[in-house]
Structure 1
Amino acid sequence: MMEAWKHFTFELEPGDPIVQTWPFVRPDYLPFLLTASYLLFIKVLGPQLMKTRQPFGLRHLLIVYNFWIVIMYVGCVATLFYKFCTTDSIYVICKKKQVSDSHHYYTAVSVAWIMYVLKYVEYADTIFFVLRKKFNQITNLHLIHHTLVPVAFWFALRTETCGFHIITGMINSIVHVIMYSYYGLTAIGPEVQKYLWWKKYLTTIQMMQFVIIIFTYIAAYLLNCGTSVTILYFGIFLTSLFLILFGNFYIKTYLKWTAKRPANALHTE
């Protein structure tokens, strides 16, 4: 066990020495501790807390929360697009670099760090389900996605000096803008929900995202990007897993119609 842990920590060493000192990136155990705490609350503590209580409404909080997430991701995407469009970053994104080498690269990686921290903020999605006693919406897909994505972001920040992963982060952020815009509009109430005819396309957009990201990983491999082969394999595996899980959800929810639509069709993230 100790040998396996030593090998794991050794794999974390090649990353940028400055980025490795940033909050939420430096500790080897932090993402696993936060994930374990999240699962403990969702599966044990939260249900016990709400067992004898009435569900909370949280309508106004949900509106603010979802649109705040949208604003944060829009800011991240806009900043990265600006950096790529006004510099030659897009041409050197496959090369190994240190954040100390370039102000533009430092900014881009800082934005990637914000995206990473937002993955922990998004634990609130599930916490709100618990407080509202919407336990039927806490699917295995939902939990797997929320537990693995922060770890994947952390691993990339700890080990990588190649800006390639910023591309996948941008794709993911654009999808999150669409998703959380929908969730925010849904939280407003029935007067808005009746116009949201496009909700089933959210899962389609998510699956398209995974397909694009897989091809991006393959392109990085073929172009000999400065990223490690290990993290490319890990990325392809994780993204393929999400594609299968979301595809299975789509089939069960939208293709295999039953007398009653599954109650968890609204929120798959």
Structure 2
Amino acid sequence: MIHPTTIIDPSAKIGKNFKAGPFCYVGPHVIVGNDVELKSHVVLEGHTTLGNCNTIYPFATIGHIPQDKKYSGETTYLEIGDDNIIREYVTMQPGTATDNKLTKIGNRGLFMVGTHIAHDCVIGNDVIFANHATLAGHVVVEDNVIIGGLSAVHQFVRIGAHAMIGGMSGVEQDVIPYGIVIGERARLSGLNLVGLKRRGFSQKSISALREAYRTLFTPETAEKASTFQERLSQIKKEKSEIPEIESLINFIQGESHRNLCMPKG
């Protein structure tokens, strides 16, 4: 199941049921799991570990050195989980010594045409990156995030679980879990209610998230507490026993290099 034009370095470690179409290349430090398919013209380079049941489409380049001038040839790593679909022209790069030397990608992701995952990013499970979605370095994307086409995410931004980034958005600040952001310079525009319903969240949880969002971000409720931190404290007292609210609070209070993405005005 390996085309004769494909080159696999003898030092590479290849799992069972490996398939590779024409003109693929697998470098010497690559580790490939079971049931992986490279359609054609795929490059796997560097210290890259690829899990089971991944499918990679033509002209994807996985594991080449980071696009970072601080990188000086040190050994760094790229880890990709299981059951991912990596479409044409996707690029994924390893970490750098300025962070944990690791770029890590979870399971069951769909990375559409032209997606770019830069150095030191950490990507969760069940994500969808639409065409030409781009991450700068050190970005964290949690589980079940959708990033719209032609969007770009600034370095060190965190995107919380179940959030959605609208197409053609420039994301410069952290995005809360369950939120939606849109715009050339993206602003928070509400909760990802459609996504929450599709993923089976209870009405109780959705209602609690809506109430928490109004308390934190809607101007007419701001008079209940004079500062954002006071409004956050109010939510902690009233709703922290709900898991989704707890995750929202933990995200907002988590360590970050960026401010929170806020609604316009």
Q: Shared fold by TM > 0.5? A: no
TM-score interval (norm. to shorter): under 0.3
Higher strand share: 2
TM-score scaled to structure 1, two decimals? 0.26
TM-score scaled to structure 2, two decimals? 0.26
Higher helix share: 1
Higher RCO (CA < 8 A, seq sep 6+): 1
